[in-house]
């Protein structure tokens, strides 16, 4: 039996291969948790292009693999910009699997990167709506169900090193991730009496599918000769001498879901190989 056997975990933005959400879902499933794979399912507007979303087919493919670990796995399409859809996702987790114990706000936009003066109102709103408002909706919907159940729970946001430090061409992204720090600090105070912990996990750069796009973009912006040169430069500034792996973030999330972390709340935990020290 795993450390999370009998628990049910919902992970938003978990419907893409090689993404952080998939890695988190796989890790929690390996620890015995039942899983809800959730993503937007299809393109809905200019901000949710097919290259950056989890489709319904991809969601089900991931779910089928995870069922091989001997746990219950379902899928549920959800646009985190809609409180109604997020609440439906929370109900799905509780009703399909018997409870809602873990909620991971992983859905995010990290592919709208531009110089400050080129950022449009639509760009700004797209990032804030998903990364910050979507996380608020998830926290709210999960808390509603967990409080009604009366047995506590774990709510975890996938923030970023950008929750602690600023980065060029990432004004909206950095603002949204900084906002998550304030969100968990406030929510943890209110939800603590209900036995619900609320935390952020803050990874540095991780080369997922999205990360690969960021590598291409920032290697050009920073004037490196190649992506390989950019990656070498990145690794050299990290004490552990490598960028993060999806499994690094997934392991941190899994630990925060265990009884060992029952007294940890309102934290924004770095998973950065020492690159982000505060």
Categorize the per-residue pLDDT at 267 as very low, low, confident or very high, splitting at 50, 70 and 90: very high
Q: Is residue 271 part of a domain?
A: no
61 and 40 co-located in one domain:
yes
181 and 200 co-located in one domain:
yes
150 and 258 co-located in one domain:
yes
- Given this model, what pLDDT does residue 48 score? 94
| pLDDT > 80? residue 207 | no
| pLDDT > 90? residue 221 | no
Of residues 214 and 89, more confidently modeled: 89
| pLDDT > 90? residue 214 | no
The CATH number that applies at residue 138 is 3.40.50.720
Q: Which residues are annotated as catalytic?
A: 173
Tell me the pairing of strands 73-77 and 34-39: parallel
| pLDDT > 90? residue 239 | yes
154 and 221 co-located in one domain:
no
Q: How many domains does the chain have?
A: 2
DSSP-derived 3-state class of residue 111: coil
Categorize the per-residue pLDDT at 51 as very low, low, confident or very high, splitting at 50, 70 and 90: confident
Question: What is the pTM for the complete model shown?
Answer: 0.95
Q: Is residue 2 part of a domain?
A: no
Averaged pLDDT for residues 252-256: 98
220 and 163 co-located in one domain:
no
Q: Going edge to edge, which strands form the sheet with 102-105? A: 73-77, 34-39, 8-11, 102-105, 153-158, 196-203, 268-271
DSSP string for residues in 112-152: ----GGG--HHHHHHHHIIIIIHHHHHHHHHHHHHHHHTS-
| pLDDT > 80? residue 12 | yes
- Given this model, what pLDDT does residue 94 score? 98
The mean-pLDDT minimum among 15-19, 43-47, 48-52, 265-269 falls in: 48-52
201 and 108 co-located in one domain:
yes
Q: Is residue 1 part of a domain?
A: no
| pLDDT > 80? residue 1 | no
Q: Any idea what DSSP says for residue 199?
A: E
202 and 120 co-located in one domain:
yes
- Given this model, what pLDDT does residue 213 score? 75
Tell me the residue range of the domain where 223 lies: 208-243
Q: Is residue 276 part of a domain?
A: no
């Amino acid at each position: 039996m795993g450390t999370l056997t009998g628990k049910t975990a919902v992970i938003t933005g978990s419907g893409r291969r090689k993404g952080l959400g998939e890695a988190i879902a796989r890790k929690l499933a390996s620890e015995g948790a039942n899983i809800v794979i959730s993503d937007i399912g299809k393109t809905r507007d200019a901000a949710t292009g097919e290259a950056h979303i989890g489709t319904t087919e991809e969601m089900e493919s991931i779910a089928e693999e995870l069922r091989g670990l001997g746990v219950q796995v379902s899928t549920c399409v959800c646009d985190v910009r809609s409180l109604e859809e997020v609440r439906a996702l929370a109900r799905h987790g509780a009703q399909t699997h018997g409870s809602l114990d873990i909620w991971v706000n992983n859905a995010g936009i990290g592919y709208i990167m531009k110089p400050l003066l080129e950022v449009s109102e639509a760009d700004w709103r797209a990032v804030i709506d998903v990364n910050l408002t979507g996380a608020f909706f998830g926290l709210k919907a999960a808390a509603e169900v967990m409080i009604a159940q009366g047995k506590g729970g774990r709510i975890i946001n996938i923030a970023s090193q950008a929750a602690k430090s600023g980065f060029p061409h990432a004004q909206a992204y950095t603002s949204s991730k900084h906002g998550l720090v304030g969100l968990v600090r406030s929510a943890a105070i209110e939800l603590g009496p209900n036995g619900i912990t609320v935390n952020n996990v803050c990874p540095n750069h991780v080369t997922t599918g999205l990360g690969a796009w960021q590598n291409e973009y920032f290697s050009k912006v920073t004037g490196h000769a190649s992506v390989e040169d950019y990656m070498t430069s990145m690794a050299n500034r990290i004490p552990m001498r490598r960028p993060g792996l999806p499994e690094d973030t997934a392991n941190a999330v899994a630990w925060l879901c265990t009884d060992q972390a029952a007294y940890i709340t309102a934290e924004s935990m770095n998973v950065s190989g020492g690159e982000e020290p505060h």
